[in-house]
Chains A and B, each alone.
Chain A
Amino acid sequence: MSRPAEREPLIRLAGVTKTFGHDGVPVVALRGLDLTVHRGELVAVMGPSGSGKSTLLHIAGLLDADYEGTYQLDGRLMSGLSADELAPLRNRSIGFVFQQFHLLPQLSILENAALPALYARDRAPAECDRAARQRLEQMGLGDRLDHRPNELSTGQRQRAAIARALVNEPSLLLADEPTGALDSKNVAEILDLFAALHRAGSTIVLITHDREVASIAERIIHVRDGHTIDGVA
Chain B
Amino acid sequence: MAWPRLLLRFALEGLQGQRGRSLLTMLGMGIGTASVVAVVSIGLVGRDYVVSLIEGVGSNLVFAYGTGIGPNPTELSFEDLDLMRQRVRGMAALAPVLDDAAHIPIRGEPRVVAVLGSTASYYQVRNLRMTQGRFFTETEDENFAKVCVVSKELARELYGSVPLGEVYLRLFDLRFRVIGVYQEGVESAAALEKSEAAGLVAIVPFWTLKHVGNTRYVDVVYIQAQSPETVPTVVEDLRQILLSQYGNLDGYTIESLDTYLTLVDQVSDAITLGLMAIAGVSLLVGGIGIMNIMLVTVTERTRDIGIRLALGAGRRDILLQFLLEASILSLAGGVLGVVIGAGLPLWIGFVYDVAVPVSAASVVIAFGVSVLVGLFFGLYPARKAADMNIVESLSYE
Contacts and interface: CB of A to CB of B under 8 A. Distances in A.
Contacts of B17: 106
Contacts of B134: none
B390 A91 contact: no
B315 A87 contact: yes
Contact of A87 (B307, B313, B394): B313
B340 interface: no
B312 interface: yes
A119 to B, nearest CB: 5
B315 A96 contact: no
Contacts of B390: 63-64
A147 interface: no
A155 interface: no
Interface string A53-67: 000001001011000
Q: Which of B3, B304, B315, B390 has the most CB of A within 10 A?
A: B390
A58 B391 CA distance: 7
Contacts of A194: none
A102 B394 contact: yes
B162 interface: no
Interface string A121-136: 1001100000000000
Contacts of A118: 6
B304 A90 contact: no
A102 B308 CA distance: 10
Contacts of A96: 310-311
B6 A125 contact: yes
Interface in B302-326: 303-304, 306-317
A95 B102 CA distance: 105
A119 B310 contact: no
B2 interface: yes
A98 B13 CA distance: 23
Contacts of B307: 102-104
B16 interface: yes
A124 B366 CA distance: 37
B314 A84 contact: yes
Contacts of A119: 308, 311-314, 317
A63 to B, nearest CB: 5
A63 B391 contact: yes
B311 A164 contact: yes
A42 interface: no
A218 B76 CA distance: 118
A119 B310 CA distance: 11
Given A84-B315, A87-B315, A98-B394, A106 B13 contact: yes
Interface of A: 58, 61, 63-64, 83-84, 87-88, 90-92, 96, 98, 102-104, 106-107, 115-116, 118-121, 124-125, 164, 168
19 contacts: A58-B391, A63-B309, A63-B390, A83-B315, A84-B315, A88-B312, A90-B312, A91-B311, A96-B311, A102-B306, A102-B310, A104-B307, A104-B308, A106-B16, A116-B312, A119-B311, A119-B313, A119-B317, A121-B3
Given A63-B391, A91-B312, A164-B311, 18 more contacts: A58-B391, A63-B390, A87-B312, A87-B313, A87-B314, A91-B311, A102-B310, A104-B307, A107-B13, A116-B311, A116-B312, A118-B6, A119-B311, A119-B313, A119-B314, A120-B312, A125-B2, A168-B312
